[in-house]
Structure 1
Amino acid sequence: MPCDPQVRTGTVELTSENYDRIQEAADRGQNLWRLDPVRTAQVVGSAVLGLRPTDVYTLVEQYYDPGSGLQHAVVRVQHGRCTYLVELYQPRRQGRGGIWVVHAVTEL
Structure 2
Amino acid sequence: MPCPGVTTGRVEIPGEDYGQIQQAVDSGRNLWRLSPVRTAQVVGTQHLGLRERDSYTFVEQYYDPGSGLQHAVVRVRHQSCSYLVELYQPERQGPKGIWVVTEIIEV
Coarse TM-score class (shorter-chain normalised): over 0.9
Matches within 5 A, 1:86-105: 86-105=85-104
Deviations along 1:23-43, one digit per CA (max 9) or x if unpaired, are 000000000000000000000
2:7 equivalent to 1:12 = no
Aligned to 2:45: 46
Structure 2 residue ranges without an equivalent (≥5): none
CA distance in 1, matches of 2:65, 2:7: 28
Count of aligned residue pairs for this structure pair: 107
Post-superposition shift, 1:16? 1.3
Give the counterpart letter for 1:73 in structure 2. Answer: A
CA distance in 2, matches of 1:54, 1:62: 23
Give the counterpart letter for 2:93 in structure 1. Answer: Q
Aligned to 1:64: 63
Give the counterpart letter for 2:79 in structure 1. Answer: G
Give the counterpart letter for 1:7 in structure 2. Answer: V
Post-superposition shift, 1:5? 2.1
Q: CA RMSD in A?
A: 0.7
Post-superposition shift, 1:15? 2.5
Give the counterpart letter for 2:12 in structure 1. Answer: E
CA distance in 2, matches of 1:67, 1:83: 28
Identity of aligned residues (%): 66
CA distance in 1, matches of 2:95, 2:42: 19
Structure 1 residue ranges without an equivalent (≥5): none
Aligned to 1:36: 35
Post-superposition shift, 1:55? 0.2
Q: How high is the TM-score relative to the length of structure 2?
A: 0.98
Q: How high is the TM-score relative to the length of structure 1?
A: 0.97
Deviations along 1:37-65, one digit per CA (max 9) or x if unpaired, are 00000000000000000000000000000
Runs of 4+ in 1 over 2 A off after TM superposition: none
Aligned to 1:23: 22
CA distance in 1, matches of 2:20, 2:30: 11
